[in-house]
Structure 1
Amino acid sequence: MTITNAGALSTRVDVAIRGIRVAAPVNRQGGAGPSDDGHVLFQGLQSAIPQSQDSPYLVDDGRLLLDGEDTGIEVTPVDRPRFYDLATDDGVPYEKIARLHGATVLATTVVQTCVRYDEAERCRFCSIEESLNAGSTIAVKTPAMIAEVAEAAWRLDGVEQMVMTTGTSNGRDRGATHLARCVKAIKKVVPELEIQVQCEPPAALSTITDLYEAGARSIGIHVESMDDAVRQRWMPGKSRVSLDEYRAAWREAVRVFGRNQVSTYLLVGLGEDPDEMVAGAQELIDMGVYPFVVPFRPLRGTLATDVDGATAPHGSVLHDITFRVSQALIAAGMKGSDQTAGCAACGACSALQTAGG
């Protein structure tokens, strides 16, 4: 169910910042997605929450305790999926090809390297190549192996949707062509599985249609901030893709995929003015793009953590922005759960669904 009361939102925001103490069988370190988090159901909603032994929050027998007191909130760890026990014929564990996110979402980074990953260019919050360096994934997932894993996850574990992202390539498509090949392969073996693709704005906007025609039904084109000064400071390489290019890609994606089937991350805690962030979110909503508001997380293996010593945003700031953006989404009749697939449909990394957005 969707929880909209103020107490649940405040708690959901607080655990996003302070973490929880929980034994979560589904978790992940490093990479391009929700890292260093445990995957749980928070009042029935898929949630990826940092695991911290210093947190005052403890999950005990399906209940969330704060300093030993029952908060009245149900939290249940997601079970380890059965497809993790399998491997390809040449010995690659399925878990190195795709991972479970939340309870029903399969996710993969089809190319685990990024052209912008040297220290002068890389996004300071990103650790896309760290899981590769740690040996927990492989550099390039072929369409055939991704389709094999997707079929097993759908058949054995009831996975309902899939998210596919990619490191940025040197090509004009910025990696989208390989994504399209992977989507086609999956839809041949599991036509019921809904898929979101994620990439930077391709130089040729016709590539967006290619992704739709391959079988994807939602798309994430992630900008992280609508403030150019913030983008230049936190994303020196990626910021050279102008906001005008993003706006053109979003408009085309809405034309192709439809209203509320296009999303973008907005990271709270990069120094952007809260009022300007909410105004940027409203601009996106007016375009038909879902602004997926997520707190910046100081992750191991990122420049933000290892070099800058950056910290998570203050809970009051995250609460304020999340609440205001959720109200704008409600007014526009847009819900993340109405998306066919993807991060907003899953909702695990944000408190927006708890707030009704």
Structure 2
Amino acid sequence: MQTNTDVTYMPPSSRSLITDLQSLGLRLADPDTGASGRRGGAGPSDHKAITIAGQTVMVPIYTGTARTSPFEAALPDVTGGSILLRDGATVGRITFPKQPRFYGLQTLDGLPYWKIAVLHGADVLATTVMQTCIRYTDRHTACQFCAIGQSLEAGRTIAHKTPAQLAEVARAAVLLDDVKHMVMTTGTPNVIDRGAALLCDSAVAIKDAVDLAIQGQCEPPRDHAWYGRMRDAGVDTLGMHLEAATQAVRARIMPGKATVSVDRYLEAFAQAVPVFGRGQVSTYLLAGLGDTAAEILALCEQLVALGVYPFVVPFVPITGTPLEHHAPPTPDFMRSVLAPLGRMLTAAGLRSTEVKAGCTKCGACSSLSSYEG
């Protein structure tokens, strides 16, 4: 199967189709089609992985918008694939990644591996090391789009994954399912290291068990020395996620996280890039929260100049969150951001194919990589 990292060119028609799918979502004629999707939790939630035009992408299927999407996956054929319809007309063919074999294993004390880490896209292992956050339970500080507690409340994960558990699952995922890299994110446990210490402990254990590139994701620690500590522990790339581009939108949508300002993030990026390298530091930006395309691109210009890869994805409203009825961005809005951003990245020599690990390398949650020159 061809994965995102193998793709060097995508026809404009396929690129546009994926952009449309990720904004509008997908209806399934058979809800049980393919591997199960992801509900709640951190990362791409209320999504299902599909493979189209040789690229595995995450597409919303459990959202209100998806239920009225013009896209529908027809009933599976004998091969397990489906015809993709738009307003009843055939526009392509999709397949669904098989459930990974490591999902069938459990720890000695009976904990299923899939409660410790899950497959994202086609070949990425992902985990939320700490499934709680100091901001989540207080509506005055919580990020309105966040569902980090939902999968925990539903019993689909555990609150804290130990380094030993993560190492065990990572080794199995590499051996059984040819996983290529790993994403470790975390809820913010404190306002000092903001999760960097958890990432360090976990990375050391994983690298001792298996040769696997790792992205760590956390808010900027107060002490810049943590960047070197994370790198030395085995974290290959770093994600520090702004989520929104302007301080006004950040303060409205994520009042607690916004206390770490855009300027503070820019300072953190300037310190982290020399440690990890150009393009090996990234930030997640959710288009559709209220920032204009011009505002997003203005921030991206600053980030690219610092050597940071701005991974811009369409906002997906997650069921059960305060923003569950917030409309996602239109495909045209996404193209108005992704096309110029792709040119910007190419001119700066920042390419997703050269990133060692993480969301940018995976690329499943955005069609951004297909807009790179």
TM-score by length of 2: 0.91
Q: Does 1:16 align with 2:22?
A: yes
Shift of residue 301 of structure 1?
2.2
Q: Does 1:92 align with 2:111?
A: yes
In structure 2, the residue matched to 1:44 is: 54
Q: Which moved more, 1:138-147 or 1:7-16?
A: 7-16
Deviations along 1:327-356, whole A, 9 cap, x unmatched?
111111211121000000000101102223
Work out which of the residue numbers 323, 327, 332 in structure 2 matches 1:304: 323
Shift of residue 21 of structure 1?
3.1
Deviations along 1:229-273, whole A, 9 cap, x unmatched?
011001100000122221121111111000000100111111112
In structure 2, the residue matched to 1:349 is: 365
Give me the whole-angstrom Cα distance separating, in 1, the residues matched to 2:161 and 2:96. Answer: 28
Give me the whole-angstrom Cα distance separating, in 1, the residues matched to 2:94 and 2:341. Answer: 25
Identity percentage over the alignment?
A: 47
Shift of residue 64 of structure 1?
2.7
Give me the whole-angstrom Cα distance separating, in 2, the residues matched to 1:253 and 1:302. Answer: 32
Deviations along 1:93-128, whole A, 9 cap, x unmatched?
100000000110000000000001121111111111
Partners of 1:337 and 1:346 within 8 A in 2: no
In structure 2, the residue matched to 1:338 is: 354
In structure 1, the residue matched to 2:35 is: 25
Give me the whole-angstrom Cα distance separating, in 1, the residues matched to 2:70 and 2:330. Answer: 16
Work out which of the residue numbers 276, 280, 283 in structure 2 matches 1:261: 280
Matches within 5 A, 1:265-304: 265-304=284-323
Counterpart amino acid of 2:233? A
In structure 2, the residue matched to 1:185 is: 205
In structure 1, the residue matched to 2:73 is: 59
Partners of 1:5 and 1:355 within 8 A in 2: no
Cα distance, 1:67–1:273 mapped onto 2, change above 3 Å: closer
Deviations along 1:70-98, whole A, 9 cap, x unmatched?
32x44221110011111111111100000
Give me the whole-angstrom Cα distance separating, in 2, the residues matched to 1:115 and 1:237. Answer: 9
Counterpart amino acid of 2:227? I
> Considering only aligned residues, what root-mean-square deviation do their CA atoms show, in Å?
1.5
Shift of residue 53 of structure 1?
4.7
Q: Does 1:7 align with 2:23?
A: no
Work out which of the residue numbers 83, 86, 90 in structure 2 matches 1:70: 90
Counterpart amino acid of 1:16? Q
Give me the whole-angstrom Cα distance separating, in 2, the residues matched to 1:75 and 1:336. Answer: 23
Work out which of the residue numbers 135, 143, 149 in structure 2 matches 1:123: 143
Give me the whole-angstrom Cα distance separating, in 1, the residues matched to 2:308 and 2:36. Answer: 30
Partners of 2:289 and 2:315 within 8 A in 1: yes
Cα distance, 1:185–1:12 mapped onto 2, change above 3 Å: same
Deviations along 1:285-344, whole A, 9 cap, x unmatched?
111000001011110121111xxx311112211111111111111111211121000000
Partners of 2:131 and 2:160 within 8 A in 1: yes
Give me the whole-angstrom Cα distance separating, in 2, the residues matched to 1:178 and 1:85. Answer: 27
SS at 1:92 equivalent: coil
Partners of 1:142 and 1:182 within 8 A in 2: yes
Give me the whole-angstrom Cα distance separating, in 2, the residues matched to 1:321 and 1:5. Answer: 18
In structure 2, the residue matched to 1:321 is: 337
Q: Does 1:176 align with 2:196?
A: yes
Counterpart amino acid of 2:151? S
Gaps of 5+ in 1: none
Cα distance, 1:282–1:74 mapped onto 2, change above 3 Å: farther
Matches within 5 A, 1:193-272: 193-272=212-291
Give me the whole-angstrom Cα distance separating, in 1, the residues matched to 2:331 and 2:202. Answer: 39
Matches within 5 A, 1:136-147: 136-147=156-167
Shift of residue 147 of structure 1?
0.4
In structure 2, the residue matched to 1:108 is: 127
SS at 1:204 equivalent: coil
Cα distance, 1:356–1:42 mapped onto 2, change above 3 Å: farther
Counterpart amino acid of 1:65? L
TM-score by length of 1: 0.95
Shift of residue 226 of structure 1?
2.5
Partners of 2:24 and 2:330 within 8 A in 1: no
Give me the whole-angstrom Cα distance separating, in 2, the residues matched to 1:353 and 1:42. Answer: 15
Give me the whole-angstrom Cα distance separating, in 2, the residues matched to 1:344 and 1:332. Answer: 16
